[in-house]
């Protein structure tokens, strides 16, 4: 059973770390320190467990890992590794651990580089039909991962000692923010075209579409982190772009807010009108993260720009994110307990021809 679980691990499971980390950040910023530390402990535990699981999958079940990297519907979910690592790094920076922030941010940047250039090539080369029909909300995790690096760069710049590193990090943060915004514009157009041109099923209209809102929220948060940078390490680039960053962030925040009612309607159509199963699925964490990110973005941008209404929204919305985190955490715990007690059937293996060693390992562990 352990081998099967590792081999078929959802590529986007690091959204668990993302969701826990951002809820911890939001509750800490709003003064709920005890709740923040409790959720942070779950984020750290999830990070350690999933890092081991992903590593084991890549080493011992290479055939399944390689197939998931070439599947347009799942490959981009691996950017949750980047985003989850960066969200945890940002939270640790807030807790006064700058070295951990740099280490985790550096590791995330290496993974981001590999995925940013490796995944598009892998997907396009392996595609046997137009990729547009395979694009879904999961692709926007690419944006989230990119903007999470921008946030870490800003956080590191704010705490770094005077020197070359502190002087260059703001420019890195701005560059990554620009890349993330352009990726969002390109991908959201492709996703809208797909929704209009290709039939959408309840299975396909899943939690990943909430990343449409989460990507705008984290982009606004990344810009807010750059706007508040001050001191000798602040470059002329940051100073000259402050008005643009602040104004465009308000546009992104407004567009993200517009998404929320539409995504709720999509969910009602999926679960009520079409009767889709309400059982736990790993991608539900992709709903929790945008909800928590909306709180942090509203609070950060509201404070940076002096927008009191955004701060008020954050103070109320933080409980939406916290409640969603608790609900999905409970659902996951129940699902795991049932699986361990043998009340659920083994899931079928993905339709991929595994290497002989993979098949043997699965039979030995199941």
- The answer to which of 94-98, 105-109, 181-185, 298-302 has the lowest mean pLDDT is 94-98
Cα 165 to chain centroid, rounded:
26
Give the pLDDT score at 362.
53
**CA 139 – CA 135 distance, rounded (Å):** 7
The whole-number average pLDDT for the span 84-103 is: 92
CA distance 110 to 114: 6
Mean pLDDT of 221-239: 80
Q: How far is CA 8 from CA 133, 285, 351, in A?
A: 23, 17, 11
Look at the alpha carbons of 347, 81, 261, 295 in this order and tell me if their dihedral is positive or negative.
Answer: positive
Q: What is the pLDDT of residues 15-36, one digit of tens each?
A: 999 999 999 999 999 999 999 9
Average pLDDT over residues 167-190: 92
31-62 pLDDT per residue, tens: 999 999 999 999 999 999 999 999 998 888 88
Query: The pTM is what?
Result: 0.88
Q: How far apart are alpha carbons 77 and 281 in whole angstroms?
A: 14
User: Is the distance from CB of 82 to CB of 149 less than 8 angstroms?
Assistant: yes
> Which pLDDT score, from 0 to 100, does residue 353 have?
43
Residue 133 has pLDDT above 80, yes or no: no
Contact 69, 130 (CB under 8 A): no
> Which one has a higher pLDDT value, 77 or 2?
77
The CATH architecture assigned to 2-365 reads Alpha/alpha barrel (1.50)
């Amino acid at each position: 059973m352990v081998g099967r679980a590792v081999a078929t691990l959802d590529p986007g499971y690091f959204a668990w770390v993302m969701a826990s980390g951002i809820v911890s950040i939001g509750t800490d910023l709003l003064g709920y320190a005890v709740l923040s530390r409790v959720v942070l402990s779950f984020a750290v535990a999830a990070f350690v467990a999933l890092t081991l699981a992903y590593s084991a999958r890549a080493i011992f079940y290479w055939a399944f890992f390689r197939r998931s990297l070439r599947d347009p519907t799942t490959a981009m979910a691996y950017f949750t590794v980047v985003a989850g690592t960066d969200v945890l790094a940002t939270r640790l920076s807030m807790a006064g651990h700058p070295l951990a922030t740099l280490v985790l941010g550096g590791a995330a940047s290496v993974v981001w580089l590999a995925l940013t250039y490796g995944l598009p090539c892998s997907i396009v080369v392996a595609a046997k039909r137009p990729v547009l029909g395979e694009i879904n909300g999961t692709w926007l995790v690419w944006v989230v991962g990119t903007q999470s690096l921008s946030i870490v760069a800003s956080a590191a710049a704010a705490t770094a000692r005077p020197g070359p590193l502190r002087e260059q990090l703001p420019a890195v943060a701005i560059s990554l923010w620009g890349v993330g915004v352009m990726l969002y514009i390109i991908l959201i157009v492709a996703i809208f075209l797909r929704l209009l041109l290709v039939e959408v099923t309840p299975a396909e209209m899943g939690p990943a579409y909430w990343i449409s809102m989460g990507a705008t929220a984290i982009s606004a948060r990344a810009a807010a982190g750059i706007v508040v940078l001050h001191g000798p390490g602040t470059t002329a680039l940051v100073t000259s772009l402050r008005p643009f960053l602040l104004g465009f962030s308000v546009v992104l925040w407004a567009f993200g807010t517009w998404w929320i009612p539409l995504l709720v309607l999509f969910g009602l159509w999926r679960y009520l009108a079409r009767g889709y199963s309400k059982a736990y699925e790993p991608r539900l964490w992709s709903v929790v993260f945008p909800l928590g990110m909306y709180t942090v973005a509203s609070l950060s941008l509201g404070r940076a720009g002096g927008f009191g209404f955004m701060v008020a929204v954050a103070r109320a919305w933080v409980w939406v994110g916290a409640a969603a985190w608790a609900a999905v955490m409970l659902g996951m715990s129940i699902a795991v307990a049932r699986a361990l007690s043998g009340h659920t059937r083994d899931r079928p293996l993905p339709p991929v021809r595994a290497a002989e060693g993979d098949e043997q390992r699965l039979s030995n562990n199941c």
